[in-house]
Amino acid sequence: MSDPTPTTTVDKYAWSAIARALPSKRAAGERVGDFDEIYASYDEAAVRAQASRCIQCPHPLCMQGCPLSNRIPEWLALAAQGQFLEAAAISRSTSNMPEICSRVCPQEKLCEGACILNARTQPVAIGAVERFINDYAFAHHAVEITQAPPNGFRVAIVGSGPGGISCADELAQRGYDVTVFESLLIPGGLLVNGIPGFKLEKDIVARRIDLLAKRGVKFQLGVKVGWDVTCAHLRREFDAVFLGVGAQRAKPLDVPGSELTGVVDSIPFLIQKNVVSPLVDLPPVDVVGKRVAVLGGGDTAMDCLRTALRSGAREAVCLYRRDLANMPGSKKEYANAIEEGATFEFLTNPISLVGNAQGAVTEVRCVRMELGAADASGRRKPRPVPGSEFTVPTDVVLVAYGFDPVPFPPGSDLAMLATDEWGALKVDANQMTSEAGIFAGGDASRGASLVVHAVRDARKAAEGIDRYLHVAKSTQPAS
Ligand SMILES: Cc1cc2nc3c(=O)[nH]c(=O)nc-3n(C[C@H](O)[C@H](O)[C@H](O)COP(=O)(O)OP(=O)(O)OC[C@H]3O[C@@H](n4cnc5c(N)ncnc54)[C@H](O)[C@@H]3O)c2cc1C
Ligand code: SF4
């Protein structure tokens, strides 16, 4: 790391003297031995030096790159001057979980990707500074837990992922009486039951949930809305409902042999390896000494590779149909996976799985792909290269092809809500669904996406609920 001399005033040219430096990472050989986070924290001098690289541009592109429009230059300036608590307070004013987003956001595609310094050198290490100041605030007991005076309205939140808990937090801070209904026994959604501990330790999520409980939010765990209770019931008990039910229906592996033993969906595998709790009751997936093939190229695929290696796999290979440049997974996590021993077969598409006499998978038959013209999304469409079939020997196949929303049971009052062709709930500009008083956000309304997008939708939904209920109240005839 370059000389981390602290600055006391904003030096617009600090970036030319101080190189970007992320906090140090544990050695790959050490970190594959556990599920703890891989990055250390900055020390105070280093965070001040890194924050001082911000040139305080008048129209900050980083804020446009951040889905929450976080007030990044303001907290960078304060952090550069060592005012970490003040910086964290500003960071909390636009985000309900900055200590989490800073750990899991793909910054290279968001705030840091937009930083103006990219034109000359490397961007400000925005995510790492955001993480430091918020961890600092927690360590100094400087995160408010006060309860707002009640405003008389009750809201039901369905789902306790980042969408659900951000909406609950926003509303509780405005005086709403909020109850979160969660179908699982461990709250947190994919923050716990998806994203592995080496990216986001479970304690950090538990601390956020605990903070919500201290702010007065109630949790009803093990209740599956649409199955165990109807929406009509919630409408009777509550003034509004927010659906943050995510999109956790795995896209199927549609090739011959997908029913063989040893072919496993990504989320049950990640939960089984990452969540150590008597509340998790899933069949064990043994990868010790085995060859693991991961199908897909997103964040989930990177997490499966790294989890397999931590769980004792002999090798973990990713089979992905496009090339590295067109892979959706974060490049930071790709680099981390490579360091930890994962290998990648790009431009490779599975066409069938082959098994032994016992019905266990033994190999993946693949075909090489080439990239054709760009499709509607702007990404180049892969097509098979004739005669290029080859085989990848394997003992376990982890399927990470992405997710769609889980449909509500046919006939339930929630199945009546309007959805798009993928099953995502349709919402208006206030995040309200086709049913007045029922709002939605996060993966449930936009399809599988990012934590920070769920937080953004939830904040918008909370504003929408606030407006909706206060308009409803002001138009009620006086009794
Ligand atoms: C393996 C993996 C890794 C990822 N890594 C990253 C990453 O590094 N960075 C990033 O930004 N994003 C990442 N994502 C995406 C991110 O986790 C999601 O976009 C985000 O969690 C969506 O939040 P949500 O609140 O909409 O839904 P979820 O987090 O899915 O939460 C939905 C919750 O609703 C509950 N629920 C569902 N139906 C009901 C019901 N009927 N009644 C009651 N409760 C219900 C579920 O049990 C769940 O707890 C990853 C996703 C996966 C799968
Ligand atoms: S929330 Fe994500 S995109 Fe926004 S500043 Fe933090 S790390 Fe960057």
Residue 366 CA, ligand 1 centroid: distance in Å: 31
- Nearest alpha-carbon partner for 88 in 170, 37, 144, 46: 144
* pLDDT tens digits, 55-101: 999 999 999 999 999 999 999 999 999 999 999 999 999 999 999 99
Residue 449 CA, ligand 1 centroid: distance in Å: 9
Residue 188 CA, ligand 1 centroid: distance in Å: 8
Cα distances (Å, whole numbers) of residue 211 to 161, 204, 363, 374: 15, 11, 48, 46
Tokens linked to 222: 């093990």
Tokens linked to 260: 């063989």
- Regarding the beta carbon of 158 and ligand 1, being less than 6 Å apart is answered yes
- Regarding the beta carbon of 181 and ligand 1, being less than 6 Å apart is answered yes
Residue 189 CA, ligand 1 centroid: distance in Å: 5
Which ligand 1 atom sits closest to the C-alpha of 105?
11
DSSP string, 47-109: HHHHHTT----SS-HHHHHSTT---HHHHHHHHHTT-HHHHHHHHHTT-S-HHHHHHHS-GGG
Cα distances (Å, whole numbers) of residue 135 to 40, 270, 339: 12, 26, 26
Predicted confidence band at 3 (pLDDT cuts at 50, 70, 90)?
Answer: very low
Predicted confidence band at 458 (pLDDT cuts at 50, 70, 90)?
Answer: very high
What span, in angstroms and rounded, lies between the C-alpha atoms of 447 and 71?
A: 27
Same fold yes or no, 14-139 and 154-248+404-474 = no
Cα distances (Å, whole numbers) of residue 13 to 50, 52, 119, 323: 12, 9, 15, 37
Query: Considering all CA atoms of the chain, what is the largest pairwise distance in Å, rounded to the nearest integer?
Result: 79
pLDDT, average across residues 37-57: 96
| pTM, entire model | 0.94
Choose one of 39, 66, 92, 94 to mutate for the ligand 2 pocket test, by most ligand atoms within 8 angstroms of C-beta: 66
Choose one of 105, 202, 212, 245 to mutate for the ligand 1 pocket test, by most ligand atoms within 8 angstroms of C-beta: 245
- Nearest alpha-carbon partner for 177 in 156, 208, 146, 207: 156
Ligand with the closest atom to the CA of 183: 1
* pLDDT tens digits, 320-368: 999 999 999 888 999 999 999 999 999 999 999 999 999 999 999 999 9
- Regarding the beta carbon of 70 and ligand 2, being less than 6 Å apart is answered yes
CATH number of 14-139: 1.10.1060.10
- Regarding the beta carbon of 445 and ligand 2, being less than 6 Å apart is answered no
Domain ranges of the chain: 14-139, 154-248+404-474, 252-401
- Nearest alpha-carbon partner for 32 in 286, 341, 295: 341
- Element holding 251 (H helix, E strand): none
* pLDDT tens digits, 156-172: 999 999 999 999 999 99
* pLDDT tens digits, 404-424: 999 999 989 999 999 999 999
Q: What is the pLDDT of residue 472?
A: 73
CATH number of 252-401: 3.50.50.60
Residue 64 CA, ligand 2 centroid: distance in Å: 10
- Regarding the beta carbon of 414 and ligand 2, being less than 6 Å apart is answered no
CATH for 154-248+404-474, options being 3.20.20.80, 3.40.50.970, 3.90.79.10, 3.50.50.60: 3.50.50.60
Which ligand 2 atom sits closest to the C-alpha of 65?
3
Ligand with the closest atom to the CA of 104: 1
pLDDT at 9 over 90: no
Instruction: Classify each residue of 128-142 as buried b or exposed e, where b means 16 or more C-beta atoms within 10 Å of its C-beta.
Output: bbbbbbbbbbeeeee
Q: Residue 325 carries which DSSP code?
A: G
Residue 257 CA, ligand 2 centroid: distance in Å: 41
The two counts, helices (H) then strands (E), for the chain are 18, 16
Residue 437 CA, ligand 1 centroid: distance in Å: 23
